[in-house]
Amino acid sequence: MKKRYIVVPAAMALLLGICASCAANELPSGFDRDQVIKTSEGFIDQLNAKDYAFCYDQFSDVMKESMSQKKLENTFTSIFEGLGGFVRFKSVSLSSSKSLGVEYAVCIVKCQYENEAATFTISLDKDMKVGGLYIK
C-alpha cells in the first residue's frame, strides 16, 4: 500500500530541528520520560477515537494558528480510512528538539493498524502541548 506523509504546517521547521538532534536520544531538562510517552499515546488514542476537539485543545498556540480543528478532522479522517482500525502500539522512542527558542520532547510512536503501520512523531513543549505533529 502507499505510505502517506502528512506534516502539519507549523511542524515543518520543527522537523528540521528533530533530524539534527535525533542522535542524542535524550529528553531536554525538565521533561519526564513517562509523562511524554503517556501524553503522546493518549493523544494518538484520542485521534483514533476521532475526538478531534480534544486533540485540537492539546495543540500549542502556534499549532492552533496553523491548523484549524476542521482541517485536523478532515486530514485524519482521510488517513484513518486507509489505515483501518487501530490494533496496537508497537514501539516508542524519544529524542529532543529545539525550534525558535523552544525545547521540545519528541516522541516517535510506531503503531499497527488493520491495513498497515503508521509512525507518529509528536513534539511536546514543557506544558505538554503538541507543538509538532507528523505521520508517516
pLDDT in tens, 18-69: 444 443 458 888 899 999 999 999 999 999 999 999 999 999 999 999 999 9
Answer with the residue of higher pLDDT: 127 or 3. 127
Q: Report pTM.
A: 0.80
pLDDT tens string 101-130:
889 999 999 999 999 999 999 999 999 999
Q: Are 67 and 130 in contact (CB under 8 A)?
A: no
| 91 phi and psi angles, rounded to 5 deg | -160, 160
Q: How would CATH label the architecture of 6-135?
A: Roll (3.10)
Helices (H), 5-122: 11-21, 33-48, 52-57, 61-66, 69-83
Instruction: Note the pLDDT of residue 25.
Output: 59
